[in-house]
Amino acid sequence: MIYVFVYGTLLEGESNHHIAAPYVRSIQEGAIRGRLFDTGPYPALSIEKQDRIVEGQWLEVTEEGLQAMDELEDYKGPGEDNEYERVWIQDISGDREGWVYSWEDVSGLREILSGSWRKYQMK
């Protein structure tokens, strides 16, 4: 199985979770180091500075699930012209690691200081 850390619209109950749902084998709450930013309809994660905590979920998915999420995030592969990069990261607890979609060019975006997309949307 493959673990993917999600922090925005792919979270359980959010607007794009249905894309991953058929391939999800388990879901666990988690947190990673990075910074979350508001793009408007969805958040962007930057792991360039790992001085804050970002809350989310670890989805355990099949290979087909990873492919479906790659398609959603328009991830074409390493070294390609991607809006998001798929990078390896570890949970702050140290007991889980896997993929996360990171958007490195966050200049001009407002930071979500809570580190939580769900909390931010409730404002």
Q: The domain that contains 13 carries what CATH number?
A: 3.10.490.10
Work out whether the CA dihedral 51, 111, 28, 96 comes out positive or negative: negative
Number of domains in the chain: 1
The pLDDT value recorded for residue 104 is 76
Residues assigned a catalytic role: 73
Query: Is beta strand 85-90 parallel, antiparallel or unpaired with respect to 2-6?
Result: unpaired
- What is the domain range of residue 97? 2-121
pTM: 0.95
| pLDDT of res. 63 | 97
pLDDT tens per residue across all 123 residues of the chain: 899 999 999 999 999 999 999 999 999 999 999 999 999 999 999 998 888 999 999 999 999 999 999 999 999 999 899 989 999 999 999 999 999 999 978 999 999 999 999 999 886
Six token digits for residue 15: 């607007």
